[in-house]
Structure 1
Amino acid sequence: MVHASLRAIGPVVGGAEGVIEALHLAAGREGTLLMILGAECDFDWVNERPEAEREALLADAPPFDAVNAPVFHEVGNLAEAFRRLPGTQVTDNPSGRFATRGRLAHDLLEDAPWHDYYGKGSPLDRLCRAGGCVLRLGASPDTTTVLHFAEYLADVPNKRRVRRTFRCQGADGPETRVIECLDDEHGIVDWPCEDYFATILREYLATGNGSRGRVRQAASELIEADELVRFGARWMTERFR
């Protein structure tokens, strides 16, 4: 699973596509690349309104286009280039949209859960069970999506949950759907310090786990996904209980 800042990496022949080509070469023919996309949804603002009002507000909205919708702006240009490449597979969840390419692409995304899309049975869970890694190329320390799976595993009471409403394409035409999940925007608990994902990543790396190096100009890490998730779940259990 790749998180990258093209700006941090610096100039590369071929730009974003050149970075993706290099990642494919590094992973090899038997490898698989996974990215989180999210989505830019013009009508996402309705989820700031009371739930009883949302369906009416979405009545004239076009259904979410999982294939063509741009990635969430905070995810970055590399993910957008990855999404656009022919043959990239994507999930249809407007809140938790993933993309993948390679040998295990179908296995990682098939029948991905609609609710709790970062939890059990999610592409993140499958990444861990497949022995996958997280590759961070100059990415912000608070953007390590696999730690959302750790939020589901942490033994913490009263985790904050949210319900979001979207206009989607159903079998018989456009329909309104609700997604229920842990709060992946504001966190599962109130935490007065810095983003706790950044703290977990820094403390994990301080144990000596993971491999560090530079990719062009970017300080980078390669981390075993399951190991980081277990560390993160323990960290949250100890502090949030």
Structure 2
Amino acid sequence: MTQAITRAALSRELRALGLTAASTLMVHASLRRVGPVVGGAEAVLDALFDVLEPSGTLLMLLCADGDHPFDPLTTPADPEVGVLAEVFRQRPGTQVNDHAAARFGALGPQAAWLLGPAPLHDYYGAGSVLERFVQAEGQVLRLGANTDTVTLTHWAEYRAQVPNKRRVRRRYGRADSGEQWIDSLDDSDGIAVWPQGDYFPQVLREYLAAGHARVGRVGHCTAELFPAGAFADFAVTWMEDHL
């Protein structure tokens, strides 16, 4: 049987990885790969805030469960972003932004600024939460998450000089005003065709292989911690070279 992990052990491992109280942190996590934690998802969040508080801010992508008309305060997180995101959404003090396609949650001193006014269309581009996250010299923490889950890669898609970027227009149901149409770069299938398929995992794999991240054990998973700005710059260069 896999040994359960305590909140205190997670906090020690996060500090050993390089996480500090001054961080503005975006987390992508697979609780299954982290392993059984005494206290469950709440204890994982507690461990993160043991390190981040009082001056750090946690940011997570929430999006929305499409089975519900969108309400920024009450609609559950998209199940695809993971259980931890939904638990974080419900955590006392967590703030959210009002965007049916790109809802984020944040908790900490920089939360209100990070979640400030953002564009309805091209919601991962200029003026977005992701741009402000980079401006805040944020860090990305991956806790056993799939390699296609680094949301920051979408910000690089807007910056990259790639011809004929693919675009999409989607309809979202809102609880307050009925339907809403939103235009953006294609954030499902990518801005361009890459012959080998989904390029998000490849960008991350090459970034990690270049030794740019701090890598260590957190719980039962391999964790990676890296600066948002450096990763975005790497992703821009990769796209311009390959797409």
Of the three residues 117, 132, 146, the one matched with 1:111 is: 117
Q: 2:37 matched to which residue of 1?
A: 12
Distance 1:174 1:231 in 2: 40
The alpha carbon displacement at 1:113 in A equals 1.8
TM-score (norm 2): 0.86
Which secondary structure state, in structure 2, belongs to the residue aligned with residue 74 of structure 1?
Answer: helix
Q: In structure 1, what is the equivalent of residue 52 of structure 2? A: 27
1:150-174, Cα deviation, whole Å (9 max, x unpaired): 00010001100111122335xxx52
Query: Which of 57, 64, 73 is equivalent to 1:67?
Result: 73
The CA deviation at 1:192 is 2.6
- Residue aligned with 2:192, SS: coil
* 1:46 alignment partner in structure 2: none
AA in 2 matched with 1:205:
L
Q: Determine if contact 2:189/2:198 at 8 Å carries over to the other structure.
A: no
Decide which of 176, 179, 183 is 1:180's aligned counterpart. 183
Q: Secondary structure at the match of 1:144?
A: coil
1:209 matched to 2:209? The reply is no
Q: Deviations over 1:61-88 (max 9, x none)?
A: xx52111111111111000100011211
1:101 & 1:138 partners in 2: Cα distance? Answer: 22
- The residue number in structure 1 matching 2:224 is 221
Paired with 2:40 and 2:67, the residues of 1 have a C-alpha distance of: 28
Q: Give yes or no for the alignment of 1:90 onto 2:96.
A: yes
Q: After superposition, what is the alpha-carbon deviation per residue over 1:22-49, rounded to whole angstroms, capped at 9, x for unaligned? A: 1111112100000001111227xxxxxx
Between the aligned residues of both structures, percent identity stands at: 52
Structure 1, residues 80-121: CA drift from partner, whole Å, max 9, x if none?
100011211111211111110001000000112211111111
Q: Report the AA paired with residue 152 of structure 2.
A: V
Secondary structure at the aligned position of 1:25 is classed as: helix
* 1:121 matched to 2:127: yes
Following superposition, the deviation at residue 212 of structure 1 comes to 0.3
Contact 2:64 2:70 in 1 (8 A): no
Alignment partners' CA distance in 2, 1:92 and 1:12: 32
Question: Residue 62 of structure 2 aligns to which amino acid in structure 1?
Answer: L
SS of the residue 2:194 aligns to: coil
Count of residue pairs the alignment pairs up: 218
Q: Does 1:2 align with 2:27?
A: yes
- For 2:29 and 2:76, the matched residues in 1 are separated by 17
User: Does the alignment pair 1:36 with 2:61?
Assistant: yes
Question: Which consecutive residues of structure 2, in runs of 5 or more, have no partner in the other structure?
Answer: 1-25
**Which letter does structure 2 place at the counterpart of 1:12?**
V
Q: Distance in 2 between matches of 1:128 and 1:24?
A: 20
CA distance in 2, matches of 1:79, 1:177: 24
1:239 deviates by 1.0
TM-score normalised to the size of structure 1?
0.87
Does residue 76 in structure 1 map to residue 82 in structure 2?
yes
Alpha-carbon separation, structure 1, partners of 2:83 and 2:103 = 15
**1:150-165 map, 5 Å:** 150-165=156-171
Matched, 1:193 2:218: no
